[in-house]
């Protein structure tokens, strides 16, 4: 007999847990699938903070303007408005649920990050904001008797009948056996796909499975060519690519080249506080100009006790590798950090497949446009996670769980090869870094797509198939978009082209790349 629940949420980061809580509080049963431990998500690793309009000198219009500016003319205005206006409510709710943001004298502390016009970034325990939010949401979820969390459960695919998503296929964590679970609706909150690149700040679980599952289920994928490279990632041999928070530059950090020269004002009038894509390309250009593999982040003008308190995790990590952030120049170079594109949804998380919803980095709501504004990602997961949960509930009031065995799948013949092939992983990551990276061109992109097509001809397990599919989608979108905008930069088309490309790219299984309507608002 097939398993049943009312709603399925895939992913246990900020978006997934907030969606699950929204559903459970209405009295419905919800089952949360997560690939590893419950707290193993991109949310857990978010350092810098969460942007929200709560300080006295800030307002929604300013936050919206900053977001639109960073998005390089590709943000959807209504999505941005929804994010900013809803953010205040949901952050206050998080505080009520016990999230401990940093305070001074009882008042919340706000900091500033790149491209923000006000100090509106809340942080927790210095540089452990995501971890604190995750802790609070997990505690809240465990209080809800209608939420069941299944850790170490690998989702193989979505079950779609007559155009309606009604369940998932997965591997039972204990029995290592294939299973099906049916529900009124499925909400994807699986995070991004940073692991398809050789150098990334993302955890091992961020392999793009959700995007691939949505694509193979027939959902539209939008703007996936826009990939954000974080400018300042610790770059040491034999050390992991550890993110040095944007907030460090917000607190006065300076970027220097190997000669000790400050260089960012040679590339942009905002210097170190320019948008992330500009800072990343500037660092690459400066490394190329000086013949080095790193630039350096200089925090030495700040007091050591301040830095130790403000960035405790970064302080201790750097110390472990022999660096004192108050005294040493920190070697940095860019690495992949965030995907602006993903499964296309409306403002309530609905995808183009009935019964399939999504929230967070796996989706493309139009909030981030071509380049995410710093610290808007946690806010997006929170706001749209709640909205997706509410929409799934409202849309399914008269629905019943359809639990008969899948007509299109013989469960006995599923492959249990859900482990990502090491050979496929290595090849794809290197190709993506070398040919679909910070600087792109038609020749490299065509060669990348050809390599991915060759890999696809081999007999691949589920995880490997998904991994290659997402990489290929990024390369295809990047080849199609013959301009430079936000996180997408073409060496052979270095200018932004609003006349032809101020549109969202849409990719769908079995179809050529198409576009959405032209975006009707530009901030220059």
Among residues 276, 310, 350, 485, the one annotated as catalytic is 276
Is 277 a member of any domain? yes
Helices (H), 97-208: 129-143
Residue 411 pLDDT: 39
pLDDT-derived band at 44, boundaries 50, 70, 90: low
Is 155 a member of any domain? no
Is 210 a member of any domain? no
CB crowding 143-153: b at 16 or more within 10 Å, else e: eeebbebbeeb
Q: For 384-393, what is each residue's pLDDT tens digit?
A: 999 999 999 9
* CA-closest candidate to residue 251, choices 55, 89, 83, 116: 116
Q: For 104-142, what is each residue's pLDDT tens digit?
A: 999 999 988 777 889 999 999 887 888 999 999 999 999
Residue 398 pLDDT: 77
Q: For 51-70, what is each residue's pLDDT tens digit?
A: 999 998 999 999 999 999 99
Q: Tokens for 208, please give them.
A: 């793009």
Residue 183 has pLDDT above 80, yes or no: yes
Residue 355 has pLDDT above 80, yes or no: yes
pLDDT-derived band at 176, boundaries 50, 70, 90: confident
Q: Tokens for 213, please give them.
A: 């599952």
Residue 413 has pLDDT above 60, yes or no: no
Question: Is 276 known to be catalytic?
Answer: yes
Is 283 a member of any domain? yes
Cβ count within 10 A of residue 407: 8
- CATH classification of the domain holding 234: 3.90.700.10
> β-pairing, 342-344 with 221-222?
antiparallel
- SS3 of 398-421: the string is CCCCCCCCCCCCCHHHCCCCCCCC
Residue with tokens 């249990």, as numbered in its chain: 416
Residue 409 has pLDDT above 50, yes or no: no
Residue 382 pLDDT: 97
Residue with tokens 């990276």, as numbered in its chain: 437
Instruction: Detail the DSSP E strand segments found in 272-362.
Output: 295-298, 330-339, 342-344, 356-358
Distance between the two ends of the chain, CA-based, in angstroms? 58
Taking CA atoms, 275 is separated from 229, 272, 330, 485, in Å, by: 11, 9, 21, 12
Q: What are phi and psi of 30, to 5 degrees?
A: -140, 135
Q: Tokens for 458, please give them.
A: 């081999």
Which residues make Cβ contacts (< 8 Å) with residue 36, sequence separation at least 6?
Answer: 151, 152, 204, 205
Residue 194 pLDDT: 96
- SS3 of 437-501: the string is CCCECHHHHHHHHHHHHHHHCCCCCHHHHHHHHHHHHHHHHHHHCCCCECCECECCECCCCHHHH
Q: For 280-324, what is each residue's pLDDT tens digit?
A: 999 999 999 999 999 999 999 999 999 999 999 899 999 999 999
Radius of gyration of the chain (CA): 22
Mean pLDDT of the chain: 91
Give the rounded distance of the alpha carbon of 130 from its chain centre: 13
Q: For 448-500, what is each residue's pLDDT tens digit?
A: 999 999 999 998 888 899 999 999 999 999 999 999 999 999 999 999 999 99
pLDDT-derived band at 181, boundaries 50, 70, 90: very high
* CA-closest candidate to residue 8, choices 211, 189, 191: 189
3-class SS of residue 7: strand
Q: Tokens for 200, please give them.
A: 């990334």
Is 347 a member of any domain? no
Is 284 a member of any domain? yes
> β-pairing, 107-108 with 154-161?
unpaired
Give the rounded distance of the alpha carbon of 282 from its chain centre: 23
Q: What is the pTM of this model?
A: 0.91
Residue 524 pLDDT: 38
Give the range of the structural domain holding residue 280, as residue numbers without chain letter.
227-337
What is the domain count for the chain?
1
Is 29 a member of any domain? no
Is 359 a member of any domain? no
């Amino acid at each position: 007999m097939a398993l049943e629940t009312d709603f399925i949420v895939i992913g246990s980061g900020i978006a997934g847990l907030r969606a699950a809580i929204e559903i459970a509080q209405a009295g419905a049963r919800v089952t949360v699938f997560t690939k590893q431990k419950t707290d193993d998500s991109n949310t857990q690793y978010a350092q810098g903070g969460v942007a929200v309009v709560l300080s006295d000198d800030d307002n929604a219009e300013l936050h919206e303007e900053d977001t639109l500016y960073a998005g390089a003319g590709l943000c959807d205005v209504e999505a941005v408005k929804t994010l900013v206006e809803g953010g205040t409510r949901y952050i206050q709710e998080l505080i009520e649920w016990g999230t401990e943001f940093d305070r001074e004298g009882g008042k919340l502390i706000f900091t500033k990050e790149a491209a923000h016009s006000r100090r509106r970034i809340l942080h927790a325990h210095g540089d452990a904001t995501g971890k604190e939010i995750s802790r609070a949401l997990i505690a809240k979820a465990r209080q809800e008797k209608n939420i069941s969390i299944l850790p170490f459960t690998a989702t193989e695919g979505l079950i779609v009948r007559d155009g309606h998503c009604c369940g998932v296929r997965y591997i039972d964590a204990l029995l290592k056996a294939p299973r099906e679970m049916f529900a009124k609706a499925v909400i994807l909150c699986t995070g991004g796909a940073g692991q398809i690149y050789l150098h990334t700040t993302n955890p091992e679980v961020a392999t793009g499975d959700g995007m691939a599952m949505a694509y193979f289920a027939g959902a539209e994928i939008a703007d996936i060519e826009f990939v954000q490279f974080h400018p300042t990632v610790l770059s040491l041999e034999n050390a992991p690519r550890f993110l040095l928070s944007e907030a460090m530059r917000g607190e006065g950090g300076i970027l220097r080249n190997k000669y000790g020269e400050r260089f960012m004002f040679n590339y942009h009038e905002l210097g170190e506080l320019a948008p992330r894509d500009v800072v990343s390309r500037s660092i690459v250009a400066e490394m190329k100009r000086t013949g080095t593999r790193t630039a350096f982040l200089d925090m030495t003008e700040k007091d050591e006790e301040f830095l130790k308190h403000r960035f405790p995790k970064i302080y201790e990590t750097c110390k472990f590798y022999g660096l004192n952030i108050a005294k040493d120049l920190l070697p940095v170079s860019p690495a992949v950090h965030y995907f602006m594109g993903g499964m296309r949804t409306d403002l309530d998380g609905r995808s183009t497949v009935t019964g399939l919803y999504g929230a967070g980095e796996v989706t493309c709501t139009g909030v981030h446009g071509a380049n995410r504004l710093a610290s808007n990602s946690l806010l997006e997961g929170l706001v749209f996670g709640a909205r997706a949960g509410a929409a799934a509930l409202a849309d399914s009031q008269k629905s019943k769980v359809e639990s008969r065995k899948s007509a299109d799948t013989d469960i006995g013949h599923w492959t249990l090869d859900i482990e990502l092939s090491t050979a496929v992983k290595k090849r794809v990551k290197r190709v993506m870094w070398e040919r679909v990276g910070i600087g792109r061109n038609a020749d490299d992109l065509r060669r990348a797509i050809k390599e991915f097509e060759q890999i696809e001809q081999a007999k691949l397990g589920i995880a490997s198939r998904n991994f290659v599919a997402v990489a290929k989608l990024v390369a295809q979108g990047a080849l199609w978009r013959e301009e430079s905008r936000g996180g997408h930069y073409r060496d052979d088309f270095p200018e932004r082209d609003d006349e032809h490309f101020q549109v969202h790219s849409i990719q769908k299984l079995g179809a050529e790349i198409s576009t959405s309507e032209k975006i009707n608002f530009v901030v220059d």
